[in-house]
Amino acid sequence: MPHLRFRAVEKNHVQELSQNLAEILAILIETTADNFTFEHVPTTFFRSGAEEKSYPFVEVLWFERPAPVKKKVAEHLTLKIKQLTGAVDVVVVFTTLDKTSYFENGTHF
């Protein structure tokens, strides 16, 4: 935890991001890099009945963090994804998980 889900980002780009992004983000949110997971979500977007290429979309599932931390993480993710993909727009969405509803090996946090 945190869990990062990448949509409209090539699988090889997610793989590349997973090489060192966790170490940087771990510093920003004061956790360890081994707590991160990276997931590539194959996605197809549509508009007006036609398939459409979309901008990168990153969903960060994690326990609540202060707004300044969210901002730093969003800025860093956006920068790295833009550098890697050449995307003009990147969306980062935070989904806050309730620690009492998150279980690892049968025990919640």
Looking at residue 108, its pLDDT comes to 80
Looking at residue 99, its pLDDT comes to 87
Q: What is the CA radius of gyration of the chain?
A: 15
Q: In this structure, which amino acid lies at residue 46?
A: F
Looking at residue 107, its pLDDT comes to 86
103-104 and 91-96: which strand pairing? unpaired
pTM of the model: 0.91
Q: Which domains does the chain have, with CATH numbers?
A: 3-43+54-108 (3.30.429.10)
- What span, in angstroms and rounded, lies between the C-alpha atoms of 49 and 54? 14
Per-block mean pLDDT, blocks of 10 residues, the chain (109 long): 95 96 95 95 95 95 96 97 96 94 86
Looking at residue 109, its pLDDT comes to 73
Looking at residue 104, its pLDDT comes to 87
